[in-house]
Amino acid sequence: MSRENLKILTLAATIGFSVAVTTLLFRYYSNKNNSLSSFDVDENNTATPKPTPTPTSNPTPSTSSTNNDVNQGQKKQQQSQPQPQVLDIEELIAKCGFCRPEMTDSNKESPNNSISTYHRHYFLCTGIPSEEWPAKLYSATPLLESFQQVMKKYENNPRKNQVVNGSDIPPANKDTLDVIIFPEMVKLVGLTPDTMEKALQYFQDNDTIDLSNFPSEIQVEQLNGKYIFICTHKQKDQRCGYCGPILVDQLRDQINQRGLEKEIQVFGTSHVGGHKYAGNVLVFPPGNWYGYVTPDDVSSIIDSTISGEVIQKLHRGTMGTEIPKKEKSNKH
Ligand SMILES: *[C@@H]1O[C@H](CO)[C@@H](O)[C@H](O)[C@H]1NC(C)=O
Ligand SMILES: *[C@@H]1O[C@H](CO)[C@@H](O)[C@H](O)[C@H]1NC(C)=O
Ligand SMILES: *[C@@H]1O[C@H](CO)[C@@H](O)[C@H](O)[C@H]1NC(C)=O
Ligand SMILES: CC(=O)N[C@H]1CO[C@H](CO)[C@@H](O)[C@@H]1O
């Protein structure tokens, strides 16, 4: 290669690098603005973390578990280093842990009826580890963005109020999404935005899935057992980001110890609403939402998942039941 060519190559590489850096910075800042304007960010949440410019560079989380708050916290802290804005460990535990004032206050608000009436819950299987979810989950990949466009069109289902959230469940294929739907207890496998649109259209006209007229190009898998989803959306709220992964680990541990791993599966979910109730735990079927869940509640969550009995003191509401409207203060 001649000297001249080498020079041109070097110049081209330099320009390429600068463009990449500028694009990254631009995406970081536009993402940051979007997430503030279009999500119901808790204004009072002093613990909201700054978005990380390179969220995908985090290592895959270890799912090993310790029962110790401090160790857990330090582990999480190390994973998200180096970030100048990260709270120090004591601050993090005080503001986001299981003993934060909003949980220990004897006059704390009851979690009862702190969700809205709804009848169907979709969980997108993103396969993305929860600590990498940006505050606006759908901005994580172009595929999720196009799903969001489709879902927006069908936001209002005339038959059933519905909720769509993300999960860290891996899809069968990385170029498509799988979607889990309750109360139908099915997984739609290998969806593209087009076939997702067909499924949503179908639900506009049908109350539940009848395989004889469900779009035949969509693969439907019937699910068994129980599913527990825990809000672990750290970049949306540090309380969920701190409490969620600890509860995921501890539930999985105890479920394994009790030999229930075939019956109960535990996953992380994106923001479900109600940060102040973190740990937020959702049990399907039937779709019981629990708030203020701590490691002390893990064994009763498992018991109640098996028995079907509701834990009253933690109960936020149940999918498919009429929830009386509450004061505005319960929005978050
Ligand atoms: C916001 O924080 C203040 C001071 O901690 C508290 O008095 C107030 O109730 C909080 N508001 C909400 C909506 O949580
Ligand atoms: C999940 O559902 C809740 C409704 O309960 C909604 O407020 C929230 O924005 C959804 N989150 C995502 C990331 O889609
Ligand atoms: C929760 O609210 C319902 C009314 O929607 C009520 O029947 C029930 O007793 C309440 N549970 C608790 C534990 O307060
Ligand atoms: C059972 C039922 O209501 N099926 C309807 C589902 O929706 C399609 C149109 O998408 C109708 O053709 C079916 O009759």
Per-residue pLDDT of the chain (332 residues; tens, 9 = 90+): 566 666 766 666 666 665 555 554 444 444 433 322 222 334 344 344 444 444 333 334 443 433 333 344 444 445 555 555 667 888 888 889 999 988 898 888 899 999 999 999 999 999 999 999 999 999 999 999 999 999 999 988 888 899 999 999 999 998 999 999 999 999 999 999 999 999 999 999 999 999 999 999 999 999 999 999 999 999 888 999 999 999 999 999 999 999 999 999 999 999 999 989 999 999 999 999 999 999 999 999 999 999 999 999 999 999 999 999 866 554 45
**Which amino acids bring their CB within 6 angstroms of ligand 2?**
137, 163-166, 270-273
Q: Which ligand is nearest to the CA of 42?
A: 1
- C-alpha distances (whole Å) from 11 to each of 8, 18, 197, 329 are 5, 11, 46, 57
What is residue 215's predicted lDDT score, i.e. its pLDDT? 96
What would be the CATH architecture of the domain defined by 115-223?
Answer: 3-Layer(aba) Sandwich (3.40)
Which of 168, 177, 220, 175 lies closest to 196 in space, CA to CA? 177
Compute the distance between CA of residue 73 and CA of residue 56 in angstroms, rounded to an integer.
20
Q: 293 near 301, Cβ under 8 Å?
A: yes
Strand-pairing partners, residue 315, are: 290
Ligand 2 centre distance from Cα of residue 137 (Å): 10
Mutate to test the pocket of ligand 1, among 42, 43, 44, 105 (most ligand atoms within 8 A of CB): 44
* Domain(s) of CATH 3.40.30.10: residues in the chain: 225-319
In terms of phi and psi (left: phi > 0; alpha: psi -120 to 50; beta: otherwise), the region of 317 is left
Ligand 3 centre distance from Cα of residue 238 (Å): 29
Looking at ligand 1, which atom is closest to the CA of residue 329?
13
What would be the CATH architecture of the domain defined by 225-319?
Answer: 3-Layer(aba) Sandwich (3.40)
Compute the distance between CA of residue 236 and CA of residue 232 in angstroms, rounded to an integer.
9
Compute the distance between CA of residue 232 and CA of residue 239 in angstroms, rounded to an integer.
9
Looking at ligand 1, which atom is closest to the CA of residue 44?
1
Residue nearest to atom 8 of ligand 1 (CA): 44
Q: 238 near 95, Cβ under 8 Å?
A: yes
Give the predicted TM-score (pTM) of the model: 0.73
44 Cβ below 6 A of ligand 1: yes
Ligand 4 centre distance from Cα of residue 211 (Å): 11
**Which amino acids bring their CB within 6 angstroms of ligand 3?**
110, 112-113, 312, 324
Instruction: Tell me whether strands 281-284 and 264-269 are parallel, antiparallel or unpaired.
Output: unpaired
Ligand 2 centre distance from Cα of residue 271 (Å): 6
Indicate the length of the chain as a whole number. Answer: 332
What is residue 34's predicted lDDT score, i.e. its pLDDT? 31
Instruction: Render the burial of 100-126: b for 16+ CB within 10 Å, e for the rest.
Output: beebeeeeebebbbbbeebbbbbbbbb
Residue nearest to atom 6 of ligand 4 (CA): 206
